[in-house]
């Protein structure tokens, strides 16, 4: 079987490795438009159990990635200087470049040499492949205009910009601040002992009032550093293709068309507020590899159906939660008006997946400290 993979991010690299490891006789080619070692972004975050799927199915890669990850047990909310710790919300993070380097070496370990600086711009050049995998992200060349896949891609209203910083934070922290122009929030977490991701978000009215549309990169960075000066504590923000954007809610009714199939951000997106995008991409890769190698190695249509049947329901459930979480952020300014205890409860409930029983089990210290405030508020509202 001849397989061509477009895109050398986590999804494409991991799929190439998994397939070739199990079927050395397959001819697997991976092309990536960027040079080796060039990647956008800083760290990627996982829940503390997000690599469990890999531990069971691919312990070698799991064991290669795990030592490079930063881990912590608590999540912190910082509401204009009022800090609230939520225990039991464990996370792990790794630099995106380091993750890609590890997965590149895994691919090379089974005989795949990724073709960097190679542009995929003509589908006719891929005609000799039995299977073409679009792992080429949001602006997927393989997906094209999306008509074959029933693609929808509305955008959220808020603006966000992705930075790094040389201040390492103890936990994944959500910081909420006000400038003279309006409200801001920042999602930040360390991904090495000395570096952190720092995502700044604001609503459209504030973005306009601050004049970001006419600002250059340096002025924008300086503005954000000023808003979060007390959070950064003298450290600087670091740019890397850092520009304001709106989050695209990409979904596809079908994940394959003929012998073309999509994985990762080429087929779905999950809002960064739940930290599942890279995990979903790698789980897609694992499911597709299983379908191709085990379910129907000689029947591509059957393999595509098996892949989509296995992954689509799971992904849609997570994406629904991500969209619910994103809706909370779209209106985060109104939540900032709440008292800290109520704000924390609103935040922890934002995805619709955390009832009180589960919260008490996962975060007993947080629940014991703050639930009396919620109960008192509820009693007061009923009186």
Q: Which residue is it, tokens 């060349």?
A: 141
Per-residue exposure over 168-195, b if at least 16 CB sit within 10 Å of its own CB, e if not? bbebbbbbbbebebbbbbbbbbbbbeeb
Helices 300-330, 277-290: inter-axial angle, 10-degree rounding: 170
The residues facing 132 across adjacent strands are 4, 260
* Block mean pLDDT (10 aa), the chain, length 383: 95 97 95 88 81 83 92 94 92 93 97 92 78 95 94 97 96 96 97 96 98 95 98 97 95 95 97 87 95 83 94 94 94 94 91 84 91 63 37
Would you say the CATH fold of 159-238 matches that of 2-40+51-66+97-155+248-329?
no
**pLDDT value at residue 124:** 66
Do the beta carbons of residue 75 and residue 91 sit within 8 Å? yes
Q: What is the 3-state secondary structure (H, E, C) of 231-292?
A: HHCCCCEECCCCCCECCECCEECCCEECCEEECHHHCCCCCHHHCCHHHHHHHHHHHHHHHH
**pLDDT value at residue 381:** 41
Per-residue exposure over 92-105, b if at least 16 CB sit within 10 Å of its own CB, e if not? bbbbbbbbbbbbbe
Give the CA angle between residues 280, 101, 194 to the nearest 5°.
Answer: 90
Here the tokens at position 244 are 């304001």
User: How many Å apart are CA 221 and CA 3, to the nearest integer?
Assistant: 43
Q: How do strand 237-238 and strand 131-134 relate by DSSP bridges?
A: unpaired
Here the tokens at position 183 are 């409200």
Do the beta carbons of residue 67 and residue 164 sit within 8 Å? no
Q: How many CB atoms lie within 10 A of CB 160?
A: 21
What are the residue ranges spanned by the domains of the chain? 2-40+51-66+97-155+248-329, 159-238
User: How many Å apart are CA 266 and CA 288, to the nearest integer?
Assistant: 14
The residues facing 78 across adjacent strands are 83, 175
- The dihedral through the CA atoms of 127, 128, 129, 130 has a sign that is positive
**pLDDT value at residue 378:** 46
Q: Characterise 25 by phi-psi region: left (phi > 0), alpha (psi -120 to 50), beta (else).
A: alpha
The residues facing 182 across adjacent strands are 179
Which CATH number describes the domain made up of 159-238?
3.30.9.20
**pLDDT value at residue 298:** 80
This prediction's pTM:
0.93
Q: What is the 3-state secondary structure (H, E, C) of the chain?
A: CEEEEECCCHHHHHHHHHHHHHCCCCEEEEECCCCCCCCCCCEEEEECCCCHHHHHHCHHHHHHHHHHCEEECCEEEEECCEEEEECCCCEEEEEHHHHHHHHHHHHHHCCCCCECCCCCCCHHHHCCCCEEEECCCCCCCCCCCCHHHCEECCECCCEEEEEEECCCCCCEEEEEEEECCEEEEEEEEECCCCCEEEEEEECHHHHHHHCHHHCCHHHHHHHHHHHCHHHHCCCCEECCCCCCECCECCEECCCEECCEEECHHHCCCCCHHHCCHHHHHHHHHHHHHHHHHHHCCCCHHHHHHHHHHHHHHHHHHHHHHHHHHHHHHHCHHHHCCCCHHHHHHHHHCCCCCCCHHHHHHHCHHHHHHHHHHHHHHHHHHHC
**pLDDT value at residue 227:** 98
Length of the chain: 383
What CATH topology corresponds to 2-40+51-66+97-155+248-329? FAD/NAD(P)-binding domain (3.50.50)
* Distance from the Cα of residue 241 to its chain's centroid: 17
**pLDDT value at residue 383:** 31
């Amino acid at each position: 079987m001849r397989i061509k993979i477009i895109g050398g991010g986590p999804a494409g690299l991991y799929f190439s490795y998994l397939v070739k490891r199990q079927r050395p006789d397959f001819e697997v080619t991976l092309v990536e438009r960027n040079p080796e070692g060039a990647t956008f972004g800083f760290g990627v975050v996982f829940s503390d159990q997000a690599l469990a799927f890999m531990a069971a199915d691919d312990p070698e890669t799991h064991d290669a990635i795990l030592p490079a990850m930063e881990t912590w047990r608590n999540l912190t909310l910082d509401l204009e200087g009022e800090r609230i710790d939520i225990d039991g919300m464990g996370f792990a993070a790794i630099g995106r470049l380091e993750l890609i380097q590890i997965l590149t070496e895994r691919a090379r370990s089974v005989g795949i040499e990724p073709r960097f600086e190679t542009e995929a711009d003509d589908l006719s050049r891929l005609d000799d492949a039995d299977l073409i995998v679009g792992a080429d992200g949001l602006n997927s060349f393989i997906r094209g205009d999306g008509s074959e896949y029933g693609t929808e891609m509305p955008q959220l209203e808020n603006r966000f910009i992705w930075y790094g910083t040389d201040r390492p934070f103890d936990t994944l922290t959500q910081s909420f601040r006000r400038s003279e122009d309006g409200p801001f929030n920042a999602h930040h977490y360390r991904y090495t002992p000395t570096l952190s991701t720092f995502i700044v978000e604001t609503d459209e009215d504030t973005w306009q009032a601050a004049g970001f549309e006419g600002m250059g990169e340096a002025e924008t960075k300086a503005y954000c550093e000023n808003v979060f000066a007390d959070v950064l504590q003298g450290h600087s923000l670091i740019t890397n293709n850092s520009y304001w954007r709106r989050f695209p809610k990409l979904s596809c009714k079908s994940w394959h068309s003929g012998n073309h199939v999509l994985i990762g951000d080429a087929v779905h997106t999950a809002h960064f507020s739940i930290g599942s995008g890279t995990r979903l991409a790698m789980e897609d890769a694992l499911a597709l590899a299983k379908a191709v190698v085990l379910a129907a190695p000689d029947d591509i249509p059957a393999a595509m159906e098996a892949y989509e049947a296995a992954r689509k329901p799971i992904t849609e459930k997570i994406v629904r939660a991500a969209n619910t979480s994103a809706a909370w952020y779209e209106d985060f300014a109104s939540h900032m008006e709440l008292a800290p205890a109520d704000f924390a409860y609103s935040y922890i409930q934002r995805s619709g997946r955390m009832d009180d029983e589960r919260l008490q089990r996962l975060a007993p210290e947080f629940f014991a400290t703050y639930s009396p405030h919620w109960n008192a508020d509820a009693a007061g509202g009923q009186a």
